[in-house]
Amino acid sequence: MTDADVQAERRRAARALLASPLMTSGSEAKRSEDFRLVRKHAGELASWFTQETGWRLVVDAGAARLYKTPARPDDATRPARAPRTRVPFTRRRYVLLCLALAVLERADAQITLGRLADGVLTATGDPVLVAAGIEFRMDRREERSDLVAAVRLLLEWGVLHRVAGDEEAYLSEASNDVLYDVRRRVLAALPAATRGPSTVEAAAPDQRLTLLTSDVAPDTEELRLRALRHRLTRRLLDDPVVYYAELPEDERAYLVSQRHAITRRITELTGLVAEMRAEGIAMVDPEDELTDLRMPEQGTDGHATLLVAAHLATADGPRTEPQLVELVRQLAAQHRSYWRKGAAEPAAAAELLSQALDRLTALDLVTREGGHVTAKPALVRYALAAPTIRKARSRA
């Protein structure tokens, strides 16, 4: 095996970890191959992540976990999603998920869905939950489906392993029970907060987030610089674009001076390429796979997003959402033959725009504020490329 092969394997393993920070053995073929590679290169990967990001990588025979503490607590565009429908979790589902985990934490090696539901119901008696307006009774189908969404997520992660029965039957009738094995080691690998949430006493939500993700405060100059590098590398590894203007002064100064060193290390590990511009840095992926949201993307939604992006990139100044809805309406008429059925109906435009803006926001390409949509600098990369001679040559 040549050095290049080893490097390619390690790159694949690192990418797999960045895409799914919790990997377990025994999943489908592609992922189990990735898991094998992660195990194989665990030592180097762990030391890389510790060195460059301060993230912990724990690998054993059953699971690999990269504790990817986010460097940016204000990003609300990465919800947990229901495994099948990809619908983002609601507040209720998150609560339910946590309660289910609390029950599983105390459960034996096996549990049934009915028993789990009972445990969750008992736990919802917590006065704090009641005060917050969270209330469950498992007698309605929608409420059971909230629980099932949480359970399916646990199945996907490998915390639970289905032994008998299926959730669909439970949805239609609560007496149809499902039996699971509980994989405690995976369960133990789930919480990633640097501090036990039960020891966090702050009441303000933002303060809670800070405490949950806080690292030990660096007390020497060297450690301070290291913490800076960790924060910046974390952002570059996880986020689509890092804008200088949005960084605190010390991070900005450090990134400006160290950008080549930092991005080179990232490129070596992951194969991501630094798109270095005056306004910031985007680690872009030539292989177009290390992401959960694609741009450009095929299909009606992807196309609408692309066209809205192109419009915003070439427009001067912000646009209001009504203006953009009108734009989407025109686009829908124009592309009627390619877009999905019903997309050209007047009512569909707002929905299409909303998903397009969600995606652009998630990719950190626009900001939405008070009904105004403003392009961020990196959006310009989606401007319509002028057909130049240079371009023709590069095609040839």
Partner 1 sequence: MSDAPPPQPFAYLQAPNAALYGQVLAVFAQARERFIVHLRPEDVAAELRQGSGGTAAVPVGTEAVGAALEKLVEWGNLRADADTGRVTSVEDFHRARYLYQLTRHGQAALRAMAVYEQALGRRGELQSVALADIAEQLGSLLVLAQAEDPDPAKTHLLLLQIAERFGSLADNAQAFMASLRRTIDFQDGDEEAFIAYKDRLVEYIERFIADLAGRGAQIADLLTRLNAAGVGRLLLAAARREAGDAVPDSDEPEAELARAEAAQSALVAWENRWRGLADWFLSRSPRQPSQAKLLRGAAVSAITGLINTVAALNERRGGRSDRSADFRALARFFAQAADDAAAHRLWRAAFALTPARHLTVDAATQAAWQEADLAATTPWAEAPPLEISPRLRETGSYERRGRPNRVADRTAARQVLAEQVEREAAQTTAARARLATDGPVLLSELAGPDGLDPHAFRLFLAVLGDALSARVPGESESSALTGDGTMEVRLKLVDPDTTVRIPTADGVLCGPEHIIEIIDLAPTGDVV
Residue 167 touching partner 1 (CB under 8 A): no
Token pair for 304 = 């609408």
* Residue 259 lies near partner 1 (rule: CB under 8 A): yes
Q: Residue 129: how many CA atoms within 13 Å on its side-chain side?
A: 18
Q: Which of 2, 29, 286, 317 binds partner 1 (CB under 8 A)?
A: 286
Q: Minimum distance between the CB of residue 286 and partner 1, rounded to whole angstroms?
A: 6
Size of the site for partner 1 (CB under 8 A): 108
For residues 309-368, which are near partner 1 according to CB under 8 A? Answer: 310, 313, 335, 338-339, 362-363
Find the shortest distance in angstroms from Cβ 304 to partner 1: 8
* Strands 110-112 vs 63-67: parallel, antiparallel or unpaired: unpaired
110 versus 173: smaller Cβ distance to partner 1? 110
Distance CA 225, CA 223 (A): 5
Q: Which of residues 212-231 bind partner 1 (CB under 8 A)?
A: 212-213
| Segment 102 to 121, residues that bind partner 1, using CB under 8 A | 102, 105-106
Q: Which is nearer to partner 1, 178 or 300 (CB)?
A: 300
Regarding 197 and contact with partner 1 (CB under 8 A), the answer is yes
Could you give the CA distance from residue 129 to residue 309 in angstroms, rounded to a whole number? 41
52 belongs to the binding site for partner 1 (CB under 8 A): no
Kindly state the smallest distance separating residue 222's Cβ from partner 1, in Å. 26
Q: Looking at beta carbons only, is 325 or 380 nearer to partner 1?
A: 380
Residues 6+ apart with CB under 8 A from 363: 240, 241, 293, 295
Q: How far is CA 278 from the centre of its chain?
A: 27
**Partners of 272 in beta bridges:** none
Applying CB under 8 A, the span of 161-169, 185-193, 315-323, 350-358 interacting with partner 1 comes to 185-193
- Find the part of the chain contacting partner 1 (CB under 8 A) among 140-148, 167-175, 223-231, 373-381: 373-381
Could you give the 3-state DSSP secondary structure of residue 79?
coil
User: Among 82, 147, 149, 306, which residue interacts with partner 1 (rule: CB under 8 A)?
Assistant: 306
Choice from 59, 99, 149, 154 touching partner 1 (CB under 8 A): 99
> Cα-flanking dihedrals φ and ψ of residue 383, to 5°?
-65, 155
Q: Which is nearer to partner 1, 85 or 220 (CB)?
A: 85
Q: Which is nearer to partner 1, 157 or 180 (CB)?
A: 157
Rounded distance, CA 356 to CA 296, Å?
Answer: 11
Cβ neighbour number for residue 153 with a 10 Å cutoff: 19
Q: Does 57 bind partner 1 (CB under 8 A)?
A: no
Q: Are 302 and 266 in contact (CB under 8 A)?
A: no
- The nearer residue to partner 1, 25 or 176, going by C-beta atoms, is 25
CB nearer partner 1, residue 4 or residue 128: 128
Q: CA 375 → CA 49, 309, 314, distances in Å?
A: 33, 8, 9
In angstroms and rounded to an integer, the radius of gyration of the C-alpha atoms of the chain is 23
Q: Which of 117, 237, 366, 373 binds partner 1 (CB under 8 A)?
A: 237
Rounded Cα distance, 248 and 286, in Å: 29
* Distance separating alpha carbons of residues 331 and 339, to the nearest angstrom: 10
Binders in 67-96 for partner 1, by CB under 8 A: 67-70, 73-80, 88-91, 94-95
Residues 120-139, one symbol each (x = binds partner 1 by CB under 8 A, - = not), give ---x--x-xx--xxx-----
Write the DSSP symbol of residue 107. S
CB of 170 to partner 1, least distance (A): 22
CB of 194 to partner 1, least distance (A): 10
Measured distance CA(146)–CA(139) in Å, rounded: 12
Give the closest residue to 54 by CA, choosing from 232, 294, 178.
Answer: 232
Q: How far is the CB of 213 from partner 1 (least distance, A)?
A: 5
* 3-class SS of residue 126: coil
Of 117, 312, 349, 378, the one binding partner 1 by CB under 8 A: 378
